[in-house]
Homo-oligomer: A and B are copies of this chain.
Amino acid sequence: MSYDVTVIGSGPGGYIAAIRAAQLGFKTAIIEKEDNLGGVCLNWGCIPTKSLLRVSEIYRLIKRSEEFGIKVQGVSFDIKSIIEYSRNVVNKLSSGVEYLMQKNNITVHRGCAKLAGNHNIKVADNDEILSEHIIIATGVRARNLPGIKVDGHLVWNAQHAMIPDKLPKSLLIIGSGAIGIEFASFYNALNVDVTIVEIKDTILPLEDKEISILAQEIFTKQGITIHTNNSIKNLIQKKDSVEVQFSNDKIIEFDRVIVAVGVHPNTDNIGLEHTKIKLSSLGFIETNKWYETHEANTYAIGDVAGPPCLAHKASHEAVICIEKIANKAPHHLQRECIPNCIYSYPQIASIGLTEEQAKTAGHDIKIGRSYANFNGKSIALGETEGLVKTIIDRKSGEILGAHMIGAEVTELINSFALVKQLEGTDLDIKSTIFPHPTVSEMIHESTLAAIIKMT
Contact = CB atoms under 8 A, between A and B. Distances in A.
Nearest to A82: B69
A254 to B, nearest CB: 24
Given A23-B452, A85-B69, A435 B77 contact: no
A437 interface: yes
Contact of A443 (B65, B86, B414): B414
A47 B380 contact: yes
A65 B58 contact: yes
Interface in A269-315: 310-313, 315
B414 A411 contact: no
Contact of A339 (B69, B349, B431, B435): B435
Interface stretch (A48-56, A114-122, A140-148): A48-56
A42 B414 CA distance: 28
Given A55-B68, A74-B72, A313-B433, A438 B411 contact: yes
A411 B412 contact: yes
A436 interface: yes
B380 A431 contact: no
Interface string A394-437: 00000000000000101111110111011010001101111111
A169 interface: no
A250 interface: no
A77 B415 CA distance: 37
Given A58-B65, A70-B55, A72-B62, A418 B415 contact: yes
A337 B70 contact: no
B62 A436 contact: no
Nearest to A88: B379
Contacts of A42: 376
Contacts of A74: 71-74
A440 interface: yes
A73 B70 contact: no
A420 to B, nearest CB: 8
Contacts of A58: 61-62, 65, 68, 70
B443 A432 contact: no
A89 B380 contact: yes
A73 B76 CA distance: 8
Interface in A13-69: 23, 41-42, 46-47, 50-51, 54-55, 58-59, 61-62, 65, 67-69
B341 A438 contact: yes
A435 B312 contact: yes
Given A50-B380, A55-B70, A71-B75, A414 B415 contact: yes
Contacts of A316: 433
A201 interface: no
A452 B73 CA distance: 52
Nearest to A38: B376
A381 B441 CA distance: 23
13 contacts: A42-B376, A67-B85, A69-B81, A69-B82, A70-B77, A331-B431, A339-B433, A339-B434, A412-B414, A414-B443, A417-B432, A418-B432, A421-B432
Given A55-B69, A89-B380, 13 more contacts: A50-B380, A54-B381, A59-B70, A62-B70, A69-B77, A69-B82, A71-B74, A72-B74, A310-B436, A414-B415, A414-B435, A418-B418, A421-B432
Interface of A: 12, 23, 41-42, 46-47, 50-51, 54-55, 58-59, 61-62, 65, 67-86, 89, 92-93, 96, 310-313, 315-316, 331, 333, 337-341, 349, 374, 376-377, 379-382, 408, 410-415, 417-419, 421-422, 424, 428-429, 431-441, 443, 452
